[in-house]
Structure 1
């Protein structure tokens, strides 16, 4: 058969051969349909190309999709650029019908059934710009002011609820600040241990480099007082025989010289 399998193209002739040889009692029901509408014998579908007009230029971005831009995109970029930690807050993305946003009325920033987040500021600012006719900066300031006010009230309610719970015996674990300080202290202690180890290794390396005698009187301290006086007495004639020799140049700790 080679590279291509042409058996599907000969299915009608195969069925006719089986019927003529009495191996089948009747022809299949699709026999006449395949005979009236035969299958294509070409293995590749031809590519239909539009005729090119002489002198026409080919579009460079014919199949490139157009950018989809919404007015809220720039407002989101500005708000989350000023408040990056708002992106770290968990968000609730579950909706009841999938079109919950159509039921929101942005005359006020806090909506029923929606948590207060950065998207609330964006939609409130956009509503002020479209309905109230405010400028972008003024609408942004007012939306932020309302956002800070409601967020402050929420923090107060949370703190009061925590204090009431602790008053009746509840206890809570470490907060985010305590956890962060513990991690920072652990990293600091690890760094101090590493720094001390580096200092000890450097000091030991320096000690190995200067492991020889450190002063010129090395070896003299090993002699007893009597041996030291005898050595000085024996070296006295040699020192006297040396003309113009200062006292500091006298040899010490050497072998006695014989005249």
Structure 2
């Protein structure tokens, strides 16, 4: 089986063949590969400093401080085994565990309608210092906002996961109660308006019926 050099070592391999006079002339692509060498493998050469999760600096420090230590031991029988095939690093967000716990305790939040298509009026929220920002509608606070707010409390206020969960959910329940009260108030106002319109129409029909009877009686009296 012919030797297959990796892409990054291909030009060096051909150079050695030319130097040993195993190749009479360089291939057509040799100059181009020397000028623009192929990049390293994305899987094999992993840079641990790359922010693949897109977290802020404070969140990265929090994740690094709370990352559990993993101790691995190599057994004698495993020393002579082949190395495992390289795999890309798994992308793990700190919100994943918080999200699993929240939706486990609040499964009905998954049934709330979610806007998937954003327009120019859409809200791209990045400030989670408060669960309900000034000027926001209580209906805009969803489960994802609670999870982000819990992470904010853990990172900035150094609360434990349990304490941040208790604080964020208690504020969430108060916002849901406020939303329910506003819905009931709006529904009662609409009901009162329709009832007033219905009563007005009924009064107009009654007066019209009375006027017809009075006109008929007057006609009989004149006859």
Q: TM-score band (shorter)?
A: 0.3 to 0.5
TM-score normalized by the length of structure 2: 0.45
Which structure has the higher relative contact order (CA within 8 Å, separation 6+)? 2
Q: Which has the larger radius of gyration?
A: 1
